[in-house]
């Protein structure tokens, strides 16, 4: 059982969908499937009034790269809000493409300060877009994306949210709508398989994509959007991954949509965290700022990450290492994907056994 923050466990229905057969992306069947995914996705994520889907074959980083390079006009800059690996990646993407970057670098264990965003926007009038990660999967930290969005939009900058590990997991509504560009992936909270990601763009974002200079052949948001509006596709998509994505969207919709899915993630987080506290484990992030899906825990003395990982894996559970400076002191548990509460109970039991054996 995978307790990693993507790839996340998938249902039998999603796995079966992969076997629908060999399709050609130039035929009308694929065109209909793509159209269905594009509309069903915004509907299930409750942004259909404001946002349009651009699908891209590639992992979540592909969607982020498409969004970032399509959102900054020539001679302007990006403000990257950074308090973890994924915020750093946003800045890296811009730099590689020769886009000037201003950064707000905050602590990995605290939400970003929206006032720092306001100050940066005042200090640098060349900022054309602000990008922020909703759920920093690095640590399991939630950023105040709605406050940052209000400030970004009041300055006239385009607002990009990396919601890749937040869509269908964290509360939606106000904060989602504050973003002109929302990036997500088929896997993680949507419970499809990895290989397709998406950019949800509102009308301001779409205008901007047309104004930004071409920076990539493969990751041009404007070109993808035009092709997908016509019912076509530019390059060979991950067709079978689209089958699975559509099945996952249907499943999400039939099981009560994002409200029910988010509540389910909340229950899972409560279950594992009360288990962690019974076992005396300490959580890196303060309770008020924790996501619904990732918990970073300090590794107790006397135990290495490798030993903990291997003992849990022998019991059927795959945990995830800490990132960067946290790789030796912490481990991560993600309750993402098609998991039952009973599975999580068994995980806590097994974790307890391992801790007792090595303490
Ligand atoms: C998973 C993730 C990504 C994308 O990672 P890929 O490996 O490219 O799918 C980006 N941002 C966040 C916050 C993520 O959790």
Per-residue pLDDT tens for 247-270?
999 999 999 999 999 999 999 999
Indicate which residue's Cα is closest to atom 9 of ligand 1: 60
Q: Which atom of ligand 1 is nearest to the CA of 194?
A: 9
Say how many Å lie between the CA of residue 4 and the centre of ligand 1.
12
What pLDDT is stored for residue 184 in this prediction?
A: 97
Residue of 81, 87, 93, 162 with the most ligand 1 atoms within 8 Å of its CB, for mutation: 162
Per-residue model confidence as pLDDT tens digits over 139-193: 999 999 999 999 999 999 999 999 999 999 997 655 566 799 999 999 999 999 9
Q: How many CA atoms lie within 13 A of 214 on its CB side?
A: 5
On the question of pLDDT at 20 being above 80, the answer is yes
* Ligand 1 atom nearest to 62, measured from its CA: 8
From the CA of 257, how far away is ligand 1's center (Å)? 22
Distance 354 CA to ligand 1 centre (A): 30
Tell me the pLDDT of the chain averaged across its residues.
Answer: 96
| C-alpha 278 – ligand 1 centre gap (Å) | 31
Q: What pLDDT sits at residue 6?
A: 85
Strand partners for 159: 130
- Over residues 28-57, the mean pLDDT reads 97
What pLDDT, on a 0 to 100 scale, did the predictor assign at position 288? 96
Q: Residue 203: is its pLDDT beyond 80? A: yes
Could you identify the atom of ligand 1 that is nearest to the CA of residue 58? 8
Average pLDDT over residues 284-293: 97
Core vs surface per residue 61-92: b (16+ CB within 10 A) or e: bbbbbbbbbbbbeeebbbbbbbbbbbbbbbbb
Average pLDDT over residues 199-221: 98
Q: Alpha-carbon distance 304 to 177, whole Å?
A: 43
Total-model pTM: 0.97
Q: State the distance from the centre of ligand 1 to the C-alpha of 264, rounded, in angstroms.
A: 22
Long-range contacts formed by 212-218: CB under 8 A, 24+ apart: 212/69, 212/70, 212/71, 212/72, 212/73, 212/74, 213/73, 213/74, 215/69, 215/70, 215/97, 215/98, 215/99, 216/65, 216/66, 216/69, 216/97
By most ligand atoms within 8 Å of CB, the mutation choice from 57, 65, 137 for ligand 1 is: 137
**CB under 6 Å to ligand 1: residues?**
5-6, 59-61, 64, 86, 133, 137, 162, 164-165, 185
Q: Place 302 in a pLDDT band, splitting at 50, 70 and 90.
A: confident
Q: Residue 77: which H helix or E strand, with range?
A: strand 77-82
Atom of ligand 1 nearest to the CA of 163: 13
CB 292 within 8 A of CB 266: yes
Residue 178 has what pLDDT? 76
Report the C-alpha gap between 13 and 45 in whole angstroms. Answer: 20
| Among candidate residues 67, 66, 60, the one with its CA nearest the CA of residue 86 | 60
| Angstrom distance (rounded) from CA 323 to CA 329 | 10
Ligand 1 centroid distance, CA of 359 (Å): 34
Share of the chain above pLDDT 70, in %: 98
Distance 191 CA to ligand 1 centre (A): 14
Phi and psi (nearest 5°) for 21? Answer: 125, -175
Residue nearest to atom 6 of ligand 1 (CA): 60
C-alpha 28 to ligand 1 mean position (Å): 31
- For residue 92, pLDDT over 80 is answered with yes
CA of 343 from ligand 1 middle (Å) equals 25
Measured between alpha carbons, how far is residue 134 from residues 89, 160, 169, 317 in Å? Answer: 14, 10, 11, 27
Q: What is the pLDDT of residue 359?
A: 78
pLDDT band at 28 (very low <50, low <70, confident <90, very high): very high
User: Which ligand 1 atom is the nearest neighbour of the CA of 64?
Assistant: 10
Atom of ligand 1 nearest to the CA of 133: 13
Question: Residue 165 Cα, ligand 1 centroid: separation in angstroms?
Answer: 7
Pairing mode, strands 181-185 and 196-201: antiparallel
Give the whole-angstrom CA distance, residue 155 versus residue 122. Answer: 8
Q: Whose CA is nearest to atom 12 of ligand 1?
A: 164
How far apart are alpha carbons 268 and 1 in whole angstroms? 15
């Amino acid at each position: 059982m995978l307790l990693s923050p993507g790839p996340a466990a998938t249902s039998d229905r999603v796995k079966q969908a992969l076997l629908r057969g060999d399709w050609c992306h130039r035929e009308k069947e694929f065109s209909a499937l793509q159209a269905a995914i594009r509309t069903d996705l915004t509907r299930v994520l409750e942004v259909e009034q404001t946002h349009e889907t651009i699908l891209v074959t590639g992992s979540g980083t592909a969607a982020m790269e498409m969004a970032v390079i399509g959102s900054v006009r020539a001679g302007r800059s990006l403000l990257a809000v950074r308090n973890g690996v994924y915020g750093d990646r946003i800045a890296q993407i811009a730099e590689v493409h020769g886009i000037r970057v201003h950064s707000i670098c905050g602590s990995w264990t605290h939400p970003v300060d929206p006032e720092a965003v306001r100050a940066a926007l005042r200090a640098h009038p060349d900022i054309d877009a602000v990008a922020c990660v909703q759920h920093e999967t690095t640590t399991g930290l939630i950023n105040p994306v709605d406050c940052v969005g209000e400030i970004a939009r009041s300055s006239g900058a385009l607002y990009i949210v990396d919601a890749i590990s937040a869509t269908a997991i964290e509360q939606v509504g106000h904060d989602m709508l504050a973003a002109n560009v929302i990036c997500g992936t088929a896997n993680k909270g949507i419970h499809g398989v990895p290989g397709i990601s998406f950019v949800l763009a509102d009308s301001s974002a779409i205008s901007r994509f047309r104004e930004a200079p071409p920076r990539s052949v493969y990751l041009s948001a404007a070109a993808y959007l035009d092709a997908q509006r016509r019912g076509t596709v530019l390059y060979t998509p991950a067709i079978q991954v689209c089958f699975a994505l559509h099945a996952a969207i249907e499943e999400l919709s039939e099981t009560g949509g994002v409200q029910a899915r988010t509540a389910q993630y909340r229950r899972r987080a409560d279950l594992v965290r009360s288990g962690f506290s019974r076992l005396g484990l300490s959580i890196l992030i303060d309770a008020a700022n924790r996501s619904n899906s990732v918990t970073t825990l300090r590794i107790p003395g006397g135990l290495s990450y490798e030993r903990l990982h291997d003992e849990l894996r022998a019991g059927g559970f795959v945990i995830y290492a800490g990132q960067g400076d946290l790789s030796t002191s912490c481990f991560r548990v993600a309750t993402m994907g098609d998991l039952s509460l009973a599975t999580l109970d068994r995980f806590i039991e097994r974790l307890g056994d391992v801790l007792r054996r090595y303490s």
